[in-house]
Structure 1
Amino acid sequence: MGTFVKAWTIVLLVKLSYAGKSVDVITSSGLNTLEEEEILRVLSRNESTSVNNFTLIELIDNRRNHTIETEDTWHEEKLSVPHTSNFFYDDYSEEIDREARRLLQVLPAFDPGVGRVSPECKRHTEIFHRELAKFTLWALKMYDATAKIPSGLLNGNVNQFGDFDECVEIEGSDRIQGQYCLAYLQLSVDESRLDLKHLHRLIHSHYAFRSNITDPGHRVPRFNIVNWAVCTPASCSFKDVETSIHEMLTRYTSQTGLKVTVKVNKDMCQIKSKEPVPNETIFVSLLVMAIFVLTIVAALYDHYKIPASELLLSFSLKRNFKKLVSLERRQNDIATLHGIRAINALMLLLAHKSMALFFNPYANRTEMSEYLGKPWTVIGRAASLYTDPFIMLSGLLTSYSFIGKLKKTGNLDIKDEYVSRLIRIVPPLATLILLCTYVIPYIGSGPQWNLVITEHANICKNTWWRNFLFIHNYFGFESMCLTHTHHLGIDVQLFIFSPLMVLLLYKKPKIGAIILTVFALFSTALRYFVTYYRELSNYVFFGTSIKQLFDTADFSYTLPSHRLTVYIIGIFMGYLLRYLPKDYKINKVVLYTGWILCTIMCCCAFFGPAGMGSINYIYNPIDAAMYNAFAPIGWCAIFAWATVMYHTGNTNDWFTRFLAWKGFLITTRLSYAIYLTQFPIYFYNVGRTRSAEHFAFFSMQFDLNEFLCIIILSIILTLLVDTPFQNIKGYLMKKSEATKQLSKVQ
């Protein structure tokens, strides 16, 4: 009670001393802007001893952020608990008080205790403020680790990650631990204010992607959302942090044309983990080590010619490495397919890399968007186009293999074909799921780590079974484990129906050709009408909304019915290559006409939508529908024509010779592993990014260190898992064939 009387006595004395004068202490500092709760909270710091009290006059004076005192007006009263953690304070109390006051006038500290937050959060916030006023090191670090308003906002430098490592390493008094929270802020402006709309466009880098704060962000970047880091005591929950940020921003924006929506996710508030590594992680790590040891042991048996089971020798590192680097072609090899794979795999790597780049903060993000808003960026925007040749090649090889067996034996063992397919693709897929779910989340950290790594791992823990049933592409892109493997689901589902398509074409060529053509046309029409009426876009145009991208994936891109056209083209190609003799010659007019038409179709598919990448493009559903319906056909046409012409000896130009280069045999053997490993590596680097960089297109888009990492991990996955299980598959198939032959003899 004595403290309260003293405080109000000082207020009355000040009023009397300013009688008849203009009192600008109250008006200039804006007492009406101070919340009653904040006044009481600051006054509650007062101690029973008067020398430790913090008065209302000091509070009001301390809130005058538009001026800086030129003389020492800091009172002798002590603004902290009696026992501070800063052991320098007793010797330099006056200097520290003065310097702390001036610093916090210029750069006020974030206050996690504002608003309706938990009592423990408030209590620890009080301790933080008191220790900050004494320049205690841990409090200064918490203050320092929180993001500050930077320069370059109009150049898109709005995503501020603060200092992640400094924050999570904090251990303060009263068992206070540092907590790093990455908050999401959605800025909206008064639409009648053209001046604000112009600034808003620059801040958000011309809306290269249009996103909402509620959009999922673990696989597609929420480009329009501001990421802002704050460092708080760990006792403040994510809801406390959201409340305090909202309260503070509301005070500054309540009378402006700006509105801010705040969202803080639980997983985006991180502390230094002290939990032991889960048993599952230890088990998976031991399993990987056991496979590695097995390959070494098998290599020793193989090298020293020690008798061993063929199953053991299937894991021989020596034998598998020789297979990987061998340039010897198999019998009936279709030479150009290896180059087609390599070209499209490289294009896909670059396209996926460009998507990952949009997750990171950049000091010149607006300049980056203007640079990428050029027509030539079609190279990265047409990511969906580069997967179509893989589907076509899958149909081609399936048809080519099945018809070869039908011509040789007259029948097709469908069960063996399905088992062979599963042995080929499941082991590397299972290995990657185990690593992404149980190992990778524990080998790194960073501001966005929980968003792009941990959240994805949690999805895999719940939905991994869908991947092994190859139905994961039907459950929505946002809840898919290993989203980039949707292609596997499509491929397996089309493969299941491939025996029916091939048998129909083999036994009834004319009727089969007509039926398959009708299905191909139906698939093309389906892509067109679904894209048009749902306003989808398979091409990433400038200003694409995140919702539009997810809808496109869910309603078109990940559905086998929409990818059937190019698969049927592959079925027809496999049939032709089996029946056309290698010395078959076609008319020169037909040859050149085919090259001209296919080249035009390829150019239209690739360069046709370039205008949609312009920064001024306005979405047109007809453009999107035409692209989705016909671009896959045009892009695949040039590769299909080159393959048929080269295989039948009708051409030997530089393009087909390049596609048939023997070096691409190695990339073919690595292609499946490269396909699997690229996304985990890209997002690993996104998750560990800690600060904004200056965007430079070539050095970032063509990150040689990252590509080298993908190649190395792909080689390891191929040698340790992929090739050994292919060897096992070959061994089992030979054994099964021998058993069948023996039963026939008997």
Structure 2
Amino acid sequence: MGKKLVECSKMKNPQECKFLTDPAFNDNIYSLYQLDSFGKLPGDILGMNKIWMGDYDECMDVGNPKDPDYKTQFCWAHLNVPLGSVLKSKTPTKSVGSTCGEGKPADIKTNVCMPRSCSENDLLAILNNIPHKLAMKGFKSVCEVTCRPTSFNFDLPFWCMTIVLTIVLSLCVSATLFDQYIQKRFGEAHPKKLRYWLAFSFLTNGQNLLRTSRNPNVLKGVECIRFLSFTWVVSGHLWGYFGFADNPLAVVDIFSSIEYEVWINAFFSVDTFFFLSGLMLAYSFLPKLTLRKAMNPNTWLIFYVHRFLRLTPAYISFIFFYATYGLLSDFGPNGLSKVQDMKNCRTLWWKNILYVNNLIEPRRTCLSVTWYMATDTQMYLLSPLFLIPFLFGTTFGFLAILIGLVLSTAITYYLFFRYDLPPTLLRVYMTGNIELIHQLQDFVYAASYVRIPPFLIGIGMGYVMWKTRNVKIRMNLFVSTLFWCISTIICTSSIFSLHWFNRGDEWTTFQRATYYAFSRLLWSVGLSWLVFAINRGQSGLIGKFMSLNFWNPLGKLAFCGYLCHIMIIGTFLNMQKAPLHFSGAFQTYFSNLVPIVFMTTLFALFWSLMFEMPFARLEGYFLQQLMGVPRRNEKDEKQIVECTKI
């Protein structure tokens, strides 16, 4: 092009010049679009705007008219800028470590639009050979290059999962059509020979799932607590993604506002799940347990088989879906999907199906949030140690729970003193100390022997609710109000006590261990009063609201929603063609959380109808045959799913 311009300057006729330069300009205009799509310095540099994004669509649309095979790719160049001195005054940390690379808390990156023929290593070498006035002694200008995917690999695992989805969907659709025909012609009675096929009916399963009437085997308010806790989990994980926002100092500034602790400390939502798990297990199982049954090995065989068959079909099918179709969520400029997690699922799925993913190679995760599934299942395996003593009396039962609490607390103190652990993942993440993050995650956060106190409190409360189910509780207003105040103080203290630590206060190891050991235990005690008050007429408008029937289908979807919510968050955020930006809690909740919870609930409905409800009914039929229970009527079959859900 430059040569053409030189020749043009020597010409006297402007038309000849135009005739000479226009083709050259048109042939090379693509390079201007390519360069224009590069990242540029944004505003708010002093606020540490660390994502300098160009135009993703402009880059991906670049084409060379002379070379149809010329394609470009959108790549991130991660800059190695030492920002420790900048962050020291703004964050409650001593050091941020290296800022270099994908996933680091202070990762500064700008995008380049380069030919697809260039590998990431090629681009790294090219960019580091370009002179930079900002280059510092001892630092390379660019430490890493990561390119966004441009195509999807339709490999064998993908097609295998597609075949499975097609088969199951065909079963569901055909069963639904036949189920509708049977209901119209014969009423609700299903031929026994067809019930295994009809277990896949969208019609019957949808009616059972969306039924708002309360199951008498489920305590009032539980489904509301379950769904609100699920929403809390989603909000907590969504907040974690804002560590990758383009304005991290705005995120850091929330440490100065105590009200944000509700969002920051969403960890208690998982403790609520553990509490509900123990509560419903004791409430539904203890009334059926006798000393004779407890001495029968078949009781415990069915006990464990039920648990495995109840959870695993929906769980493992989503693992395979996540490992194949989940990769489709990674397109776009931001790259916020957990791609390595998805790839790990192709080789590490067996850890999840055995529920040992928190014990064996816990640092290599497949669907990382399912550490909860493993931890909860391990608690379930230990639960007979705390259920059977109740057969010998209330004292023995609560003594067993007390021993479990003491042992768990002692282990917690030992681990905190052994590894000098912090009480929360958040502040240690800000330091960039990866090893300490893994130690807290592996030894404490995902460890069943540390997280079991809420589960044990739940078992104790389930026993109390069972024993008092026919007892009319009379409590005067003063006593009821006193318990409400104590419960509120306990729960709010558990959440907000971390505010000063998150702001930068130093806690001794004893203080950190004490908080971690007792905050979750006391949180569960506060929840115990909430459940008791709702079911024993001591909750007023709160109880009426939490007992509304519309919570029932939402609570049933919490399990599948928990499985898929990380994938939905990544998909939703990757759909945006701009950097993630934190604008405060209100906007974040309504522009991100509400649509994500809605999309997650819709996907959970789809997944539950295809893989949870049908296999739950099949499990009920299987256990009926295993126990030798005759099939009585269609009403019994309709209650199978609800009765087997703990």
Alpha-carbon separation, structure 2, partners of 1:377 and 1:76: 66
Q: Does 1:375 align with 2:265?
A: no
Percent of aligned pairs with the same residue?
A: 20
Aligned to 2:128: 246
Aligned to 1:447: 333
One-letter identity of the residue aligned with 1:605: S
One-letter identity of the residue aligned with 2:80: Q
Aligned residue among 452, 460, 472 for 2:345: 460
Aligned residue among 80, 101, 111 for 1:229: 111
Alpha-carbon separation, structure 2, partners of 1:584 and 1:497: 33
Q: Does 1:164 align with 2:91?
A: no
Aligned residue among 173, 181, 206 for 1:296: 173
Q: Which blocks of at least 5 consecutive residues in structure 2 are unaligned?
A: 10-14, 186-190, 633-646
In 2 relative to 1, CA 624–700 (structure 1 residues): closer, same or farther, beyond 3 Å? same
Structure number with greater CO (CA < 8 Å, separation at least 6) is 2
One-letter identity of the residue aligned with 1:272: T
The answer to whether the 8 A contact 1:444-1:688 is kept is no
Q: Does 1:400 align with 2:286?
A: no
Aligned to 2:12: none
Deviation at 1:145, TM superposition (A): 2.3
Alpha-carbon separation, structure 2, partners of 1:294 and 1:238: 45
One-letter identity of the residue aligned with 1:724: P
One-letter identity of the residue aligned with 1:642: L
Structure 1 residue matching 2:110: 3-state secondary structure: strand
The answer to whether the 8 A contact 2:243-2:251 is kept is no
1:319-718 alignment runs, 5 A limit: 319-361=204-246, 364-371=247-254, 373-407=256-290, 410-411=293-294, 413-442=299-328, 445-449=331-335, 452-475=337-360, 478-507=363-392, 509-531=394-416, 533-538=419-424, 540-541=426-427, 544-546=430-432, 547=434, 548-585=436-473, 588=476, 593-614=482-503, 621=509, 624-647=512-535, 649=536, 651-692=538-579, 695-697=582-584, 698-702=586-590, 703=592, 704-718=594-608
Deviation at 1:408, TM superposition (A): 9.4
Alpha-carbon separation, structure 1, partners of 2:166 and 2:120: 39
Tell me how many residue pairs correspond in the alignment: 607
1:68-87 alignment runs, 5 A limit: none
One-letter identity of the residue aligned with 2:76: L
Alpha-carbon separation, structure 2, partners of 1:321 and 1:727: 13
Q: Does 1:185 align with 2:79?
A: yes
Q: Which blocks of at least 5 consecutive residues in structure 1 are unaligned?
A: 1-44, 46-50, 54-73, 79-87, 97-130, 192-196
> Residue by residue, what CA displacement relative to the aligned partner does 1:318-375 show, whole Å, maximum 9, x if unpaired?
11111122122333431132222123222222212211233343xx553454356421
In 2 relative to 1, CA 673–208 (structure 1 residues): closer, same or farther, beyond 3 Å? farther
> Residue by residue, what CA displacement relative to the aligned partner does 1:165-214 show, whole Å, maximum 9, x if unpaired?
4334444467543233212223116x8xxxxx34x669xx7589975558
In 2 relative to 1, CA 90–673 (structure 1 residues): closer, same or farther, beyond 3 Å? farther
In 2 relative to 1, CA 322–397 (structure 1 residues): closer, same or farther, beyond 3 Å? same
Alpha-carbon separation, structure 1, partners of 2:101 and 2:415: 23
One-letter identity of the residue aligned with 1:262: V
One-letter identity of the residue aligned with 1:712: L
Structure 2 residue matching 1:264: 3-state secondary structure: strand
In 2 relative to 1, CA 89–248 (structure 1 residues): closer, same or farther, beyond 3 Å? farther
Superposition RMSD in Å: 3.6
One-letter identity of the residue aligned with 1:562: V
In 2 relative to 1, CA 271–353 (structure 1 residues): closer, same or farther, beyond 3 Å? closer
Aligned residue among 154, 159, 163 for 1:286: 163
Aligned to 1:13: none
Alpha-carbon separation, structure 2, partners of 1:327 and 1:556: 38
Deviation at 1:238, TM superposition (A): 1.8
> Residue by residue, what CA displacement relative to the aligned partner does 1:566-594 show, whole Å, maximum 9, x if unpaired?
11111212222233352253665765554
Structure 2 residue matching 1:344: 3-state secondary structure: helix
Aligned to 2:32: 140
Structure 1 residue matching 2:337: 3-state secondary structure: helix
Q: Does 1:269 align with 2:147?
A: yes
The answer to whether the 8 A contact 2:487-2:526 is kept is yes
In 2 relative to 1, CA 429–214 (structure 1 residues): closer, same or farther, beyond 3 Å? farther
The answer to whether the 8 A contact 2:385-2:400 is kept is no
In 2 relative to 1, CA 92–529 (structure 1 residues): closer, same or farther, beyond 3 Å? farther
In 2 relative to 1, CA 379–477 (structure 1 residues): closer, same or farther, beyond 3 Å? farther
Deviation at 1:720, TM superposition (A): 1.7
1:59-70 alignment runs, 5 A limit: none
Q: Does 1:722 align with 2:605?
A: no
Deviation at 1:512, TM superposition (A): 4.5
Structure 2 residue matching 1:723: 3-state secondary structure: helix
Greater CA radius of gyration, 1 or 2? Answer: 1
The TM-score, its normalising length taken from structure 1, stands at 0.73
The answer to whether the 8 A contact 1:527-1:629 is kept is yes
Deviation at 1:723, TM superposition (A): 1.3
One-letter identity of the residue aligned with 2:626: S
Alpha-carbon separation, structure 1, partners of 2:92 and 2:112: 25
One-letter identity of the residue aligned with 1:155: G
One-letter identity of the residue aligned with 1:738: G
In 2 relative to 1, CA 317–231 (structure 1 residues): closer, same or farther, beyond 3 Å? same
Alpha-carbon separation, structure 2, partners of 1:93 and 1:478: 62
Deviation at 1:705, TM superposition (A): 2.6
The answer to whether the 8 A contact 2:92-2:427 is kept is no
Structure 1 residue matching 2:81: 3-state secondary structure: strand
Q: 489-498 vs 389-398, which deviates more?
A: 389-398
One-letter identity of the residue aligned with 2:239: S
Aligned to 2:45: 153
